[in-house]
Amino acid sequence: MDVPTDVLVKILLLLSPICRRRLRLVCRLWRDLVHERTPKIQIAPARPLIETVYPRAYIVDDVQGRGGCTPLWTTGHDEAYTAMQLVGSCNGLLCLCDNHRPGGAITLVNPATGEALGLPPIPGAGRLRRPKTGWHHAYGFAYHSVTGQYKIVRVSSDEDKVQVFALGEASSWRDVPAPDGRCRLDAGVVGLDGAAYWVALSEKGAERIMSLDLEDGSVASIESPPEPIRHLAEVRGKLAAVISDGVMAHEKIQLWILEGEGMERSWNHRYSVQLPRRGLQEHPLPRPGQRLARPHLGHGMSTILTHGTWLGDVLVLYEHTPTTDAVQNHQWKPQPLLDCNNRGRIYRTFAYTETTEPLSAYKLW
């Protein structure tokens, strides 16, 4: 039906931002109208989300003021989460993996509304071999800002394929061929900028980075940094390859950032970080060297997040601020961000922003 553009815009403005985002998928005209003539969806500033090994999850309340934290869930506080590990966080939605169930059952949660949405199981989940690192390391959670689609990606260390679930657009998992794409699960799966990335090893042992385009579903390989990758991470919306994650206290860590667009993308060595052997000098007890937080290791425009331990379970999350404008070999000054005393060992960090987006609209099964 031929509806005048102005009338169509007025109709779109009557809908919620979430509905408008989904309607961008109808056609190019609707996509352009939603993008150009309706208010943009407001997203609250992101805050660090900390997951500990128990597992527990906390949100840092006040980064600038070095404030405390708010628990999302804790062991014993909410038994539904005690077997869960975080896969990722996108626009306030959390993707959790139940490591106690074959294949790693996936549940999406909105902590702000209290909603939870369990996804259908992976086909043949009972026949899958459990990774030593846990099922959650095989999954990634990603969002495509143009289409408004969320996708959950499962990679494999022994099959030349990935499995994809498109939230709100499918009722089952889809197999996508990934030749020579067997994943190094210890390197992680990172979803950002409309794609999911992982490190794969060919049959000859060659290391390369694979990407899944969230819009057209294609899998491709991209050039890797010149040195072996310890793991992948995300730094301020860009893919980062960590060459060393600070296993030794004195080790210098290199961060290579994937920059550019399309065929012009290239890896650039942007940061060299010398982590201290100990924590803050004014602390009465020594601390072993810090490690880079992962998979989300950047906060703000000029900070890198790390964490370190002393006396077992007592951890501190550090914020490193550069004192020079040089691109590489920054001098980083550690500043305390959060003392995790009695909260457990920091396992991973993510970015979290609160949203009221309902999960019920996505259920098609």
Residue % of the chain over a pLDDT of 70 = 75
The answer to whether residues 243 and 329 belong to one domain is yes
Mean pLDDT of 302-317: 58
Does residue 234 form part of some domain? yes
Which range among 123-127, 214-218, 254-258, 300-304 shows the weakest confidence by mean pLDDT?
Answer: 300-304
Residues 202 and 105 in one domain: yes
CATH at 255: 2.120.10
Run of H or E residues at 242? strand 238-242
Q: Which residues of 148-159 are buried (b: 16+ CB within 10 A; e: fewer)?
A: bbbbbbbbbbee
* Residues 8 and 137 occupy one common structural domain: no
Looking at the structure, tell me whether residues 140 and 4 fall in a common domain.
no
Residue keyed to tokens 């004192």: 323
Question: Does residue 79 sit in the same domain as residue 111?
Answer: yes
Same domain? For 33 and 90 the reply is: no
Check if the beta carbon of residue 265 is closer than 8 Å to that of residue 222: yes
Task: Say if residue 22 is in the same domain as residue 99.
Answer: no
The pLDDT assigned to 307 comes to 74
- Would you say residue 35 lies in a domain? yes
Domain holding 11, by residue range, is 1-41
274 domain residue, yes or no: yes
Q: Place 162 in a pLDDT band, splitting at 50, 70 and 90.
A: very high
- Is residue 46 domain-resident? no
- Extract the tokens encoding 61: 């309340």
Q: How far is CA 17 from CA 12, 23, 95, 175, 355, in A?
A: 9, 10, 22, 31, 12
State the first-to-last Cα distance of the chain, in angstroms, to the nearest integer. Answer: 30
Same structural domain, 24 and 163: no
Chain segment 48-76, per-residue pLDDT in tens: 898 887 768 888 876 554 557 788 876 55
* Same domain for 325 and 237: yes
Q: What gap in Å lies between CA 214 and CA 31, rounded to an integer? A: 17
The reply to whether 51 falls in a domain is no
Q: Domain total for the chain?
A: 2
Q: pTM, whole model, 2 decimals?
A: 0.83
321, pLDDT greater than 60: no
In a domain, 277, yes or no: yes
Residues of the chain above pLDDT 90, percent: 30
Mean pLDDT, rounded, of the chain: 79
Q: Does some domain include residue 47?
A: no
In a domain, 48, yes or no: no
State mean pLDDT over 5-25: 83
Both 114 and 14 in one domain: the answer is: no
